[in-house]
Structure 1
Amino acid sequence: MDRTPNRLIHEKSPYLEQHAHNPVDWHPWGEEAFALARSEDKPIFLSIGYSTCHWCHVMERESFEDEDIAALLRATVVAVKVDREERPDLDSLYMAFCQALTGRGGWPLTVFLTPDGQPFFAGTYFPKESGYGRTGLRELLQRVHMAWKSNRQAVIGNATQILEAVRDQMTGAGSASAEPTESDLESGKAQLTAIFDVENGGFGGAPKFPSPHNLLFLLREYRRTGAPDCLAMVRASLKAMRQGGVYDQVGFGLHRYATDARWFLPHFEKMLYDQALAAMAYTEAFLATGEASFKETALEIFEYVRRDLTSPDGLFYSAEDADSEGVEGKFYLWSAAELRELLGEDAALFMAAYGATEDGNSHDEATGEQTGGNILFQPAALGSTAAKAGLDAAPLAERLERCRLVLLAAREKRVRPLCDDKVLTDINGLMIAALAKAARAFDDEELAGRARRAADGILARLGLPQGRLLHRLRDGEAAIPGMLDDYAFLAWGLTELYQTVFDTAYLRQAVILARTLLDHFADAGEGGFFLTPDDGEALLLRQKIFYDAAIPSGNSVAFFVLTTLYRLTGHTAFTESAAALARAMAPRLADHASGHAFFLCGLSQMLAKASEVTIAGDPDSPDTHALARAVFSRYLPETAVVLRPDEAEPDIVELAPFTRYQLPLDGRAAAHVCRGGSCQPPTADVVRMLELLGV
């Protein structure tokens, strides 16, 4: 039925828009909702999710579309809906409370607050009705209403104790007297090795997440120590993911995670941040091994992002939903009859190569019943499949690729999953970094151009004066003050882009963003960076997040950025702040080193005799290009590269004063190499440069 829209109709978030025609009297987060709660003496019912969240859709269909539940909500609470991707500060704060109260978390996140924002009850998904030992939303609302009216002080008192525990957890580890050392790297590696799945690749059992930052850390440890087991874990994991159902074999790109241990049954949503981090891991694995399949996979991921997650002006959308037509994964499944109809005489070969069966290989996650659909995956490597079919690998690959293109064209005619088309500064920064890394590794101008276009667009449309940023862009509206991740991730993207195209405008902007971090986010007393700026919205507490979850924490990326910028510019303020952050991180590493894998990436390359190279010469000359390509085509993650044009006083001298006297050698482009704090005479010889870099 047509319903009068609620207040969310004026919001820009796709997730909030999805709920704009619920019968629930939703409010966006803001003073209006809290003022109403105070005036009516009601608690806040806070529901946090995101547009591509499967169980958020389920709870909406079951409860928030239900007139009786909507009426009960109106009678007992003030209902507030938040998009976790728009407001990661709120999500992080109340998720920490939920985890402290229940021992677990997830989305949809359901929290009851006092009218002053203090949480007193939290959970995740609630069915509409109670049953099977699980409290339903109807009963929960009734219980909360009774407790609020008859036993309020006890409810709030208990919640206060939990909130204090959360406060201590987020802010109380304190500074350490010593910085992390190689022993922390060894602990991180040992912990990952202990949970490595030897049979299937990846870490742990089900559900299994790609966690590319674990792989990036192991790659750096392989470079630092030469330990073959580090590389073996990376190779096995990347190959297993590419062959599994967690990878979209038709349209490319990674799904969110696998619900099983062998990467077969995916949770079908696709997130931009997963694509960016996975592409980085495949790119670096290619550099470390020379295996063409890793480069091919990285390029496939970038093709998916270009086709389905890129705006007309070159910025990147956030995600694609798991559901279409109300069914999770429907867009991606194929019946045997469809495959035979579309592929004709190639159908049997394709089905064998991609694990499809007559009855379907997928099962309903809840009931275990066969769906009749097939999740495409590669049960065996191409060479093995070719041998079984009596074919050479190359002709087989060509036939399978023709089949893939036929299926892709057919799939484009289906009802697509929702695309969450909001543009987020932080996640765009990740994709800019990924594109720039790959452009460098593959010598690919098209990828570099895409990174440039996105960086220019983000800075133009989400940048503010005095080095400030906004967090979200949608429908032409840029809004929400930037948080730690926005500054750190975009600065990371810009440092990678500078080292790819050597346009000092990007390095200059990265320096500006880093200085904003120091001015508005740094904890001068205990080290590290707060999630929100010192002039941001006042919440119950100002959080510091160090743990690397689905994506690296802002603190981990800030450490990486600050140490890189110090090596690119020589400005000591960056390394001093990085050292304070490292000391703050030290006790957390002692507790769980592998939970901070991306921080360990930065630590690993700093302890691996970090190298700095200034290439001095005409940017357009072949000898300058030859020196740069020699560095970029090898796996040297500990190496930072600056280009010093052969001009009297180029822009880079202002940003990096140490380059003033780093000049070409006898009219030829020269490499000025420093490694482990020791600088060597310049050389115009590629082989000698690589020797100085330890290659």
Structure 2
Amino acid sequence: VCIKVDREERPDIDQVYMAAAHALTGTGGWPLTILMTSDKKPFFAASYIPKESRYGMTGLLDLIPRISKVWQSQRQDLENAGGQVMEALQGAARTPPGESDLDEAVLDEAYETLFRVFDGENGGFGDAPKFPTPHNLIFLLRYGNRTGKEPAYTMVEKTLHAMRRGGIFDQVGYGFHRYSTDAEWFVPHFEKMLYDQALLVMAYTEAYLATGREEFARTARETIAYVLRDMTDPAGGFYSAEDADSEGEEGKFYLWTKDEIVGVLGEDDGERFSRVFNVTEPGNYREQPGARRTGKNILRMRRPLASWAHEFSMSEEDLSWFVEGARQRLFAAREKRVRPAKDDKILTDWNALMIAALAKAARAFDDPAYLAAAEKATAFVLENLRRPDGRLLHRYRNGEAGLAATLDDYAFMLWALIEVYEASFAPRYLRTATELARDLVARYRDCEGGGFFFTPDDGDAPVRQKPVYDGAIPSGNSVAMQALFALARMTANLELEETADRMKFTFAGTVRKSPAGHTHFLTGLEFMLGPNFEVVVTGMPGAEDTTAMVRAIRSRYTPDSLVIFRPSGEERPEIVEVAGFTRDIVMIEEKATAYVCTNYACDIPTTDIDEMLRLMRSRERSPEPIV
């Protein structure tokens, strides 16, 4: 019986059998072929098997008959082998706790590892292929903010500039491609994934707050523009991906000949644009390494605009206006091409990442449109991907939702709800987060070993795994730890805090073996180690002094803060029902007032914004962020 599995719809199955492939062959990859017994025990695994044998590779049409003969003559051996694989996987799911808790030393080790493998010429880490891995960059930003070590910021800035100017970024329509096949961020795999857009929006937004560099803010906004234009369902949810190929050719939608550019922009403008974006007559794109040039070009900037402006005897502002005008004309022309296919399924976890990104951007850029999009998507998920009993579902498409939610769905939605609360100050988001946290603990927690299984206690996966490695996206356990701790501090829920705190010990042994492979986990650890603080602002909603106080917090890089708003003028506002400790928070002298709190203890309240910021800085271990 042949079964094809969409690994994005069933990541639980993908995780188990990819682990089985590693156990059987020592390698993995997609597309993955697994042969298993009727009771789900795998005994054969391989990747990239062609249909027919060629170039020394055995094809499926030859492989299956051979295995059939072995099955008939040595069935017991195959079943025993499958049983051994499953036992090994079940053993690996039992996470051995560390001998001691994690401390700041593991943060230092991760930083030093990233520093050693940093590509000082091109940005990013290691050699080709290069993946964006935004959580590495966010970890470095927060580590630099904490310690004052300037190289942490340098690595982030170099990488973000290189990606924005490289071929991995769609210079005409915006948004990031999946990864770069080379070390220079030049030749991408042209697929676009929702989760990459979300995580990169977060990285560029945090980098803007930390450094003040406008290019980072512009890149975050451009990426959001792409998502809202091309990846958003009319009802508010976000689609999963756009394919790499169209008309049977990878990248065809995104590539340009110089004649095409001149045909759209005219001779003079086309020549200037081509110089800025590395467009040549022979082309800069090869379909395969070593193949001859095709005349087609990937658009990238090898130098910043300021350098080109000097060469053209223009101001940087005038050149920027020229580039934008040319981009718009090229975009209009490109829209007439056959587009890559769109994967229009809507996944709870990936949507949650985009919701969190939009909420962060809404606060940082003071943009209500981003908050509106985040709230609309949140409503979509909660209305369409939540069962009547309150439990989440994983996938929605064409009016039909289904599949049991994974740990990622719950953890990422907790993250999203906290971010949307901080952007909107609507208590219902914290209330929903508390409900989901209750479900997560009840259905996914490993009561014996700590941490969370990827699947619920009533799921059908053959092995309940407990992932913590932060790969293309952060792991559910990494996100859950940080989100539960943040939610606990915002609602004074000591049980949730204890659950999160135990996870540090649960995964200490695993994280200590490879700190740089767990950077989102370490971002949560850094937050938990402290000092972290809650700023409770109370004032009249919409009043000038209230708005000014909140805006002062949001416009600065304060990654170890959580902000709660208690509206004045109401005897028992809704936030008191969710965060009972705000009951006695009151304004002073009828002015907006801030309470800066750490470990459930608050400083003397203040109505002065500068004093509020001083109190927040005094609780940090490091100097002010490097700008």
TM-score range for the pair, normalised by the shorter chain length: over 0.9
Report the counterpart of residue 686 of structure 1 in structure 2.
609
Indicate whether 1:468 and 2:391 are aligned.
yes
Report the counterpart of residue 675 of structure 1 in structure 2.
598
Tell me how far 1:124 sits from its aligned partner: 1.5
Report the counterpart of residue 486 of structure 2 in structure 1.
564
Report the counterpart of residue 242 of structure 1 in structure 2.
164
Please give the alpha-carbon distance, in whole angstroms, between the structure 2 residues aligned to 1:158 and 1:423.
Answer: 37
Distance 1:227 1:461, change over 3 A: same
Q: 2:583 is matched by which residue type in structure 1?
A: R
Report the counterpart of residue 9 of structure 1 in structure 2.
none
Taking structure 1 as the reference length, what is the TM-score of the superposition? 0.87
Report the counterpart of residue 464 of structure 2 in structure 1.
542
Report the counterpart of residue 213 of structure 2 in structure 1.
291
Report if aligned partners of 2:446, 2:453 keep a CA contact under 8 Å in 1: yes
Report the counterpart of residue 515 of structure 2 in structure 1.
593
SS of the residue corresponding to residue 336 of structure 2 reads: coil
Tell me how far 1:186 sits from its aligned partner: 1.0
Please give the alpha-carbon distance, in whole angstroms, between the structure 1 residues aligned to 2:478 and 2:436.
Answer: 16
1:489 to 393, 398, 412: 412
Report the counterpart of residue 223 of structure 1 in structure 2.
145
Taking structure 2 as the reference length, what is the TM-score of the superposition? 0.96
1:228-259 CA deviation, whole Å, 9 max, x = no partner? 01111100010000011011000001000000
Tell me how far 1:453 sits from its aligned partner: 0.7
SS of the residue corresponding to residue 583 of structure 1 reads: helix
Report the counterpart of residue 111 of structure 1 in structure 2.
34
Tell me how far 1:364 sits from its aligned partner: 1.3
Indicate whether 1:325 and 2:325 are aligned.
no
Indicate whether 1:458 and 2:414 are aligned.
no
Distance 1:366 1:262, change over 3 A: closer
Report the counterpart of residue 442 of structure 2 in structure 1.
519
Unaligned runs of 5+ in 1: 1-77
Please give the alpha-carbon distance, in whole angstroms, between the structure 1 residues aligned to 2:407 and 2:356.
Answer: 17
Aligned-CA RMSD value:
1.3
Report if aligned partners of 2:205, 2:217 keep a CA contact under 8 Å in 1: yes
Report the counterpart of residue 207 of structure 1 in structure 2.
129
1:68-87 CA deviation, whole Å, 9 max, x = no partner? xxxxxxxxxx1101111111
1:87 to 3, 10, 28: 10
Please give the alpha-carbon distance, in whole angstroms, between the structure 1 residues aligned to 2:138 and 2:600.
Answer: 24
Report if aligned partners of 2:208, 2:214 keep a CA contact under 8 Å in 1: yes
Report the counterpart of residue 301 of structure 1 in structure 2.
223
Tell me how far 1:389 sits from its aligned partner: 2.0
Please give the alpha-carbon distance, in whole angstroms, between the structure 2 residues aligned to 1:388 and 1:139.
Answer: 61
1:396-427 CA deviation, whole Å, 9 max, x = no partner? 11111111111111111111101000111111
Q: How does 1:624-639 map to 2 (within 5 A)?
A: 624-639=546-561
1:157 to 80, 83, 87: 80
1:197 to 92, 112, 119: 119
Report the counterpart of residue 620 of structure 2 in structure 1.
none
SS of the residue corresponding to residue 693 of structure 1 reads: helix
Report the counterpart of residue 373 of structure 1 in structure 2.
296
Please give the alpha-carbon distance, in whole angstroms, between the structure 1 residues aligned to 2:22 and 2:253.
Answer: 33
Tell me how far 1:123 sits from its aligned partner: 1.4
Tell me how far 1:213 sits from its aligned partner: 0.4
Report the counterpart of residue 13 of structure 1 in structure 2.
none
1:179-210 CA deviation, whole Å, 9 max, x = no partner? 21101111111111121111110111111000
SS of the residue corresponding to residue 331 of structure 1 reads: coil
1:445 to 350, 368, 374: 368
Please give the alpha-carbon distance, in whole angstroms, between the structure 1 residues aligned to 2:110 and 2:436.
Answer: 30
Please give the alpha-carbon distance, in whole angstroms, between the structure 2 residues aligned to 1:166 and 1:412.
Answer: 48
Report if aligned partners of 2:98, 2:510 keep a CA contact under 8 Å in 1: no
Tell me how far 1:677 sits from its aligned partner: 5.8
Distance 1:185 1:201, change over 3 A: same
SS of the residue corresponding to residue 563 of structure 2 reads: strand
Report the counterpart of residue 259 of structure 2 in structure 1.
337
Tell me how far 1:655 sits from its aligned partner: 1.0
2:274 to 329, 333, 351: 351
Distance 1:298 1:477, change over 3 A: same
Please give the alpha-carbon distance, in whole angstroms, between the structure 1 residues aligned to 2:149 and 2:420.
Answer: 30
Please give the alpha-carbon distance, in whole angstroms, between the structure 1 residues aligned to 2:135 and 2:297.
Answer: 30
Q: How does 1:33-44 map to 2 (within 5 A)?
A: none
Report the counterpart of residue 98 of structure 1 in structure 2.
21
Report if aligned partners of 1:526, 1:580 keep a CA contact under 8 Å in 2: no
Tell me how far 1:160 sits from its aligned partner: 2.7
Tell me how far 1:103 sits from its aligned partner: 2.3
Please give the alpha-carbon distance, in whole angstroms, between the structure 2 residues aligned to 1:116 and 1:286.
Answer: 52
2:499 to 566, 577, 585: 577
Report if aligned partners of 1:428, 1:454 keep a CA contact under 8 Å in 2: yes
Report the counterpart of residue 134 of structure 1 in structure 2.
57
2:45 to 102, 116, 122: 122
> Runs of at least 4 residues of structure 1 off by over 4 A?
none
SS of the residue corresponding to residue 62 of structure 2 reads: helix
Tell me how far 1:620 sits from its aligned partner: 1.4
SS of the residue corresponding to residue 473 of structure 1 reads: strand
Indicate whether 1:264 and 2:194 are aligned.
no
Q: 2:85 is matched by which residue type in structure 1?
A: I
Q: 2:511 is matched by which residue type in structure 1?
A: L
2:585 to 662, 667, 680: 662
SS of the residue corresponding to residue 221 of structure 2 reads: helix
1:280-335 CA deviation, whole Å, 9 max, x = no partner? 00000000001111000000000000111001112100000001011111110001
SS of the residue corresponding to residue 71 of structure 2 reads: helix
1:37-63 CA deviation, whole Å, 9 max, x = no partner? xxxxxxxxxxxxxxxxxxxxxxxxxxx
Percent same amino acid among aligned pairs?
A: 50
Report if aligned partners of 1:433, 1:497 keep a CA contact under 8 Å in 2: yes
Report if aligned partners of 1:494, 1:506 keep a CA contact under 8 Å in 2: yes
SS of the residue corresponding to residue 380 of structure 1 reads: coil
Report if aligned partners of 1:612, 1:675 keep a CA contact under 8 Å in 2: yes
Higher relative contact order (CA 8 A, sep 6+): 2
Report the counterpart of residue 503 of structure 1 in structure 2.
426
Q: 2:412 is matched by which residue type in structure 1?
A: F
Please give the alpha-carbon distance, in whole angstroms, between the structure 2 residues aligned to 1:432 and 1:293.
Answer: 22
Of 385-394 and 409-418, deviating more is 385-394
Indicate whether 1:232 and 2:154 are aligned.
yes
Indicate whether 1:363 and 2:286 are aligned.
yes
Tell me how far 1:128 sits from its aligned partner: 2.5
Tell me how far 1:162 sits from its aligned partner: 2.9
Aligned residues: 616
